[in-house]
Structure formats: structure tokens, C-alpha cells
A and B are shown apart, each in its own frame.
Chain A
Amino acid sequence: MSQQDTINYDAVLSKFREDPFAYVDINAMHTGHIRFHVREGDKVEGLTGDFRHIKGTLLCELTRERNQKPIHCTTNGEVSFVNKVLDGQFVQAGEKIMTIRHPLKKREIIEQILRDVLVPFAAPEKAKYYFAMDIQNRIEKFGQRSVSVKAGDEVFTMSLMKRDTPVYYTGEAGIIHSVYFKPGQSMELGEPLVGVCPPEKVAVVEKIITRVKAEWE
């Protein structure tokens, strides 16, 4: 572990500490006349319900060819910016119309940091995945973070059309830090299956997670 890494992660942490928000821009999906339903500073709700099927707060309506399209909020937070001059005006597709300031949760911060740090291994096909027998035994015996993998290791068994195919790891060597799938669950092509952490970064990652857990409410 180099001193440089530590400093970088400190910077990342302080960045989140200074501004623990994500800024979600809302853009016009196509041209039309826009009418706002929220103002700056309003609290907004994202998708809710057990199946995320209840729509969030109505932000604005875009009317094109007498077709009123409501734009609902997809994340909770506060309206931090509204391009007020556009209210009642014709907007172009893709034009930024407002920004939602979303307070990051502990889990979201950790996920964002890990995404920068860990090496993801993506599903090569849409299929069901299982850990290879050897890996599974080691995980059961020692826990997943004690299992290291390197390029060429047989890590998964891909079950597709009743055929089991071994999947070999490609990428930087390290330990399996995060598992993003459940054995037997169908995964889409390109979805990350595991996040691998190079050995020299393990201590830093653990330290960051501990600090985030301790410091964020």
C-alpha cells in the first residue's frame, strides 16, 4: 500500500464529507412546452412501494402535440435548481430543466467508493451463475474475503440451457471483496458478478468502509 493511495482515499472521503449529495440532472426527453410543478427548495420523493411502482413527485409536464407528459422524480431529495426561464416555454430535447439534490446514504457512499476501487468481473452471458466448487468450498470455510483469484482461475460455473460451462477469471488478481449475485439467480449480460480488490488495496478499502460506517449517520 503506497502513501499516495491513502492520500487519494482521504481526498475521496473528504469530498463526500464536504458535499454528501448526488446531483441528479433532469433533462427534457424531447421537445415541447414545459410547465413546472415544483420550485427550488421543494422536497421531492422518488419511486416508492414494495415493487417501486408508485411514481415519485410530479416535477413538470412536457406538452408536445397536445400530449401531456408528466415527468416524475425518480430519487428523493430537494430541488436545488430550476431553470425558471423555461416555464411555459418551448424546450429542446436534452435541455437541462432542473437538478435534484439527493442526500447520499451510507450504503450509496460505500458503493460509489467501491465502484472506483474494486475491479468488477461482468457476466459474459445472460445465464445463471454459481461459484466453482473449489471457490465455493473456500468461501464456506474461510469467508469470501479470504478467497483470492487470479487470471485464468476457474471462478464460476455458468448454467445456460441445461449446460454448465466453466468461466475463467480475467483481470487483476485480488480477493473477492463483494459478491453481487445469488447462486442460481439469472443475471443479465454485462452485470457485475463480483468485485475483486487487489491485495495492496484491501486494507485501505476496509479502512474507508469502517470510517464511512462510523462517520456517516
Chain B
Amino acid sequence: MQEIRKRLTKIEERLNYISQVKGSEKWGNVDSVLQRFVAVRDAIFDISTDKMATKIHTLEDEISFLEERAEESLTGMDRVRIVRSPLRFSLKDILENVYDDYTELGGEEEASIDASMVCAKATVSAKIKGKTVTQQVMVIGHEKGHGEEYRNGGCSKPWGNEKALRFMMVAQTEGIPIHAYIFTPGSFPVEEYPGAGQQIARNIYAMTKLEVPIISIISEGGSGGAEAIGCSDYRLMFSHGYYSVISPEGGAAIEGKVREGQKIPMEMVESCAERLKITATDNLRLKTIDRIVEEPLLGAKRDAYEFFKRVKYEMIRATDEVVLKTKSLRAFRNYEMKLNRSRKELGDDAHIDVSWELNRDEMARLLEMRSKKYRAMGCEGICAKGSFLGRLASRVKEKSSKYFYNIRYDMLHSHQKQVKQVMHDVTSESAVVIKQVAGPLASVFDFFTRRQESPALLVGGEDLNREQVYDNTYTSPLANEDRTVTCPNSERLGCKDLWVPDLYGQFGGVCENCGHHFPLEYQWYLKHLFDRDSIREFNSKLLARNPLNSPDFEKRLKVAIKKTGRRSSMITFDARVRGVEVVVAMLYSNFRNGTVGSTEGEKFVQAAERARMMRRPLLSYVHTTGGIRIQEGTLGVTQMPKCTMAVREYVDAGGLYVVVYDNNSYAGPVASFLGCSYYQFAIRSSRIGFAGPRVIRDTTGVDIPPDYHSARNALKRGHIQGIWDRREFRTNLHKSLMTMGGKSLYYR
């Protein structure tokens, strides 16, 4: 009888799970099977055990058939529901079943700085040539089960991500690989120090050059939260998981322009989940992951022990593969690994002998491979307009420039530096001698002739004290209206109404009483920030595309192209600021609200490479950015590590990277290639953050003060280094370039 009871409980569980995954009891004939099940269960004392066993067997067969049908017709949203099911395995199950032993670091259970992020030192063993080989790894991942009430659904707080980074550094010190398990719907969007976006940026920045193999595996990969621990050498994904730029509900709310508090129609969410291409197969096709780890029907649950064996094999194999690629002597082991890859059954001899310890050369090779991997990532959505000859010419030009700058800076410049040093010493010595001899005579001569000091000149010969004149260069078209506007601070600070021609002309869009900065178009900055006629745009032909073929998006892109006369939301150009040559990457609001997709990411990377090649400072001026372009799905998300990698390599090569935020800067770009800069500044009245107020309210359930994202609060939290007045932007930028860049600007 007890056996029958157990089987009945299991049947009920399986039926409930199917209806939960499919979002309704009405799918298939689940409800009728459920009715039959209830009838059988209620008759448990009325019929004989044999008859009951037969009926249960029939039900089990029906349910198995239902499960197979459900598996065949899994939609994107079904996978989201699988991942969110409380029955799904979580990190603790993996730690218990995949690893031999583990010690949780940085807190345990609820006594942790952030219980949603678990860090553990673990040992994992494999049988190789009949011997058991045990190796150590650092396991870092999100935990959403086993104490759900304090796990926060796997949404890591900024300090949780900081904890992850701390233990990644420990792994680097100890030279052990990192296994990252991603089970997060997204990061907890609070700005309190270290700040959600800024900490993710720091994590990605550190992971780009972390000198240990990193293997990540995604079950629930929610955008920035996933990237905080997901920048790895090998990216695996569970077959029933999802990896997405935004939750389908969030995406549907944005695309459908659903107002806060209104219910989002389920059909809209379902179709959004399909459009976002969030499944493992989609991601493998888009090359945002390397391999899929198969799960049992309708996803693995906590008791899927055979599946955990598979996970163990896949994690060890992925680590072996990454490590093996760094070794010089690897041909036979590589061949063996390829043979093993196609095997479905896992024997005891499935592993090969690879030591996970790396020497200096192997580490360098590992980092180079990681760099190449991310450089190639997300290139699916890029399209350069122009003829074949034109592209060829630009390639030739690029190559020749590379050689030219290599010769100029690496060969000639170092010799020139040495010669200069010697000449400097010689002239200094002789100056002392000449001064001793000619000093008295010169002072007598000066006294009689009263020679005046010439004013100090800067690099490029421009006068330091010369003021920027605004009105005779460019006037905002906003100034052409004959009307007044009210400053938003007028009630509090008593600002008078401002006459528009004055405001956008003479005052540079700044309230003369309180200093509030009214938004200005990006062209104003192009005209006032840089030296006249110094702007030389490059990569202007790279065209923003619709790589996931989102319906209607093609049309919207065409509208944006027509409106702006540009092909993407990023403008990259060479320019001069008071004679200092800089490379600029500018995100502006008019084109899809400054969102970043594959094209913008590629343009940014090429700008960083150009700045590196030409030994120039790199400026990211963010007129506005609304985040990653959701219509590009994970191709957009991968721009985060890709661009951060470019920044890291540029900075490591000695470059000076300065970021200036204006108007509104939110989400992915702030949480990656912008937030990772050591030198971040903001223009007054701008807002900087990870998630907007509505997302914060929806996620945390708490309202935020209206000035939560203000530049001043960002400064207080230590996210930025200063706030600049728009009218002094040029002066401050030049000063920053000179003080932080040093004499040669390319400071190492």
C-alpha cells in the first residue's frame, strides 16, 4: 500500500509539473488525466491492490506520453517556467552531487553578506587510468533554492557580486580554475555602494584577464546579473535553461509600452520570449555559448542523479579542454577528447589526464584565447555598407596605419626618448655652466631692456586661459523658439522663467539661477567640445541591423536612420581637445535612445583598438544610453564582456580611458565598458544608474527617492569622480587629459 501511495504522489507531482510548465491545466489533456487520477486516488480503499497497480501503470504511461509531447512543443516561455520551478535543481544540489566535498566561503546560509551568491572551495575527482585524480576548484554561483526566503530569488546584490570577485581573486592567487554557475533572473538593482552596475562592470573587467581557467554554465541567465560571473573561457548552457537580455515580462512591457501597474497580456509575454531567442539552441546558433548540456525530459529536478553525473563530466571536460588548449604538447589528448565528445554513455574512463595548473606562458595563451573569443563574439549582427573595393582599401589602410604607428612609437619613439633624455641631461648641465658665467650679464641686460614674460602655451600651441566662445560657432536649433520655459527647481529655489533663445543660446542650456542643465542635442557637444574642424569620423558605414529578425524592428531602424542620417547609435571619431588628439566613442539619444547592439559594440571595440594603435586617449561621451538593445537578445548582452575586454586591453597597454555621462545613462553599458573606467565624470543634472525607477519598484517592491540616480548621488556613492558644468566641459576634459594622462598622454 505504501508503494502505491508513493506512486500516486509521484503521479500528482508530475501532472502538476506539466501544467506548471505549460502554464495551464488545459494544455493537452492534462485536466482529464488529472480527473482520472483523482478518481483512482479516491478509490484507493475500494479496489484491490492489483487493479490499483494496473490503473496506476496506465496513468504513468499516459503521463510519460504527455511529458514527451510537452517536451517536443516547449516554447521559450515554457523554459522560463521550468527554470523558475521550485522543483528545479539549484547550486546547492550541484555542490552536493557534482563535487566530492566543499566548504562555503564568505558566509553560510542566511549568515552571509548576500545569500543569493554562493562561493565555495570544492574538490572534484575523476578516474583516470584506474586512479582517482582529485583537483580543486573555486565554485561561484547564484543560489535561489534551499532557503528561498533569504536567497532573494538568485538576484545578487552588489555586495554579493563583490564577494564573488573577491573569491575569484583568491582562485587566481591559488591558481585553481573557477566553475561559475549562473542561476539568476538578474542583478538586484540598487545603487548603494558598490552599486549594481558598477560592481558588475568591475567583475567583468577583472574576469577579462583573470589568470585562471573560467568555465561557466547557465541555467537562468538574466542579462547583467549573469555577466557578473559569466565572462569565461568556456560557456556551457543547460538544455532547458534560458539566457536573455531581459526577462520576457520586462521585454513585453517595454515593447508593448505597458504602463506601470497594468497587467501584461500573457500572449505578449509568450511572443516576446520567442523573439528574444533565449533558448540554449538559439544561443548556440548565435555563438554566445559553446556547448549545451542535455537535461532529462522537461528539465532536471533535484533528484536527477544521472544528470548530475553528466554535469560533473561536462564541467571537468570543459576545464580540461580549456587547459589543454594552452599546452604546447596536446595532440593525442586533443584527439582523445574529440572522440569522447560524441559519446553519450559516460564510462569510468571518460576523462583524460590534464593537470589544471598553468605556467606563465600557458596563462598568457589562456588570456589571448579569451580575448580572441570575446572579440569574435556577437559579430552576427554587424554589417558594413560599402563596396568590396572600399572595404579592401580600408583594410589596407588599417594595416598600413598599424605598421606606421608601430614603427613610430615602438621603434622610433623609444630611441627618440633615449636621445631626448641624453640631450636633456647635456643641456641641463651646460645651462648651469652658462648661467654661472652669463647670469650677472643677463640680469644687467634685462634690467635695462625690461623684457616681458611671454604667456604660457599648451600642447598644440593653444592659450591656456582662452575662454571658449559659444555663440559664434553653433547655436542649438532649440533656441529658435520665442517662448519661455520653467526650471524644474523653480518652486524650491525660486528660479525665474527662462527665455528660450537666451537659455539655449547664451546660457548653453543652463539655468542661470540654480545651474540646472536642460538637455541639449549631441551636435552641440560636437561643435563646442572639440577643436574646430578637428573631427574625423570613422566606421560610419557600419549599419545597425536586426539580427534576430524581430518583427517591425527593421522598420523602426529605418525610421531612426532616416531621422538621424546616421546608421547606428554610436559615433566614433578622431578629434582634438585644445590640441590634444583623442579618439571618441559617443552614444547619443536620437538613434533608438542610445541603445547598444552588435554594431555599436563593434564600433566601440574598433575605437578602443584604434586609440591603442595610435597611442591616443579614449573618451566615451555618453549623451544618453538606454542600455543594451533588447531586440538583439543575447547578441547585445555579449557586447558587455566584449567591449570591456577591449577597454581592459587598451588600459593594460597604457591607455587613458575617460568616461563622461550626460542626460540619462542606464543598464548594460554602465554595467560594463563604461562603469569599468577608472575615470568617470558626469555632466550636471544627469542621471546614472543600473535600472530605472520602475524596474527597481517592480523588483524590490520599494519606491526610490526622485533623486536616486542623480549625478550628485552617484558622486556621493563613489561611482563617479566629479561633476562638470557643461560650459566648462572642454576645459575640464582638457585638464583631465593633461593631469591623468601625463606629459606624453600615453602614460606608460
Contacts and interface: CB of A to CB of B under 8 A. Distances in A.
Given A64-B497, A65-B497, A67-B497, A53 B483 contact: no
A217 interface: no
A50 B483 CA distance: 35
Interface in A14-62: 30, 49-51, 53
Interface of B: 481-486, 497, 499, 703, 705-706
B705 A51 contact: yes
Nearest to B485: A67
A190 B326 CA distance: 72
Contacts of A67: 483-486, 497
A163 interface: no
Contacts of A69: 486
A91 to B, nearest CB: 16
A50 B484 contact: no
6 contacts: A30-B497, A51-B703, A66-B481, A66-B483, A67-B483, A69-B486
Contacts of A51: 703, 705-706
A3 to B, nearest CB: 47
Given A65-B497, A67-B497, A49 B483 contact: no
A66 B501 CA distance: 13
Nearest to B498: A67
Contacts of B481: 66
A26 to B, nearest CB: 14
B482 A66 contact: yes
Interface of A: 30, 49-51, 53, 64-67, 69
Contacts of A64: 484, 497
Contacts of B499: 65
B703 A50 contact: yes
A65 to B, nearest CB: 4
Closest 5 CB pairs of A and B: A66-B483, A67-B484, A65-B484, A53-B706, A50-B703
A29 B499 CA distance: 17
A65 B483 contact: yes
B615 to A, nearest CB: 48
Nearest to A53: B706
Contacts of B484: 64-67
Given A65-B483, A66-B483, A67-B485, 6 more contacts: A30-B497, A51-B706, A53-B706, A64-B497, A65-B484, A66-B482
Contacts of B497: 30, 64-65, 67
Contacts of B705: 50-51, 53
Contacts of A53: 705-706
Contacts of A50: 703, 705
B504 to A, nearest CB: 14
Contacts of B482: 65-66
A53 to B, nearest CB: 4
Contacts of B486: 67, 69
A30 B496 CA distance: 11
A24 B81 CA distance: 53
A66 B497 CA distance: 11
Nearest to A51: B705
B731 to A, nearest CB: 32
Contacts of B703: 49-51
A101 B350 CA distance: 82
A49 B705 CA distance: 9
Contacts of A65: 482-484, 497, 499
Nearest to A65: B484
Contacts of B706: 51, 53
A64 B490 CA distance: 15
B478 to A, nearest CB: 14
A66 B500 CA distance: 10
Nearest to B703: A50
Contacts of B485: 67
B457 to A, nearest CB: 44
Contacts of A30: 497
Contacts of B483: 65-67
B502 to A, nearest CB: 12
A53 B704 CA distance: 10
A12 B717 CA distance: 51
B486 to A, nearest CB: 6
A50 B705 CA distance: 8
Nearest to A69: B486
A51 B705 CA distance: 6
A64 B482 CA distance: 11
A44 to B, nearest CB: 18
A51 B484 CA distance: 29
Contacts of A66: 481-484
A30 B484 CA distance: 13
Nearest to A66: B483
Nearest to B496: A30
A53 B707 CA distance: 10
A50 B701 CA distance: 12
A44 B497 CA distance: 27
A20 B484 CA distance: 41
A64 B500 CA distance: 13
A66 B703 CA distance: 35
A67 B498 CA distance: 10
A137 B483 CA distance: 62
B261 to A, nearest CB: 13
B69 to A, nearest CB: 49
B67 to A, nearest CB: 47
A50 B697 CA distance: 12
A65 B486 CA distance: 11
A198 B703 CA distance: 43
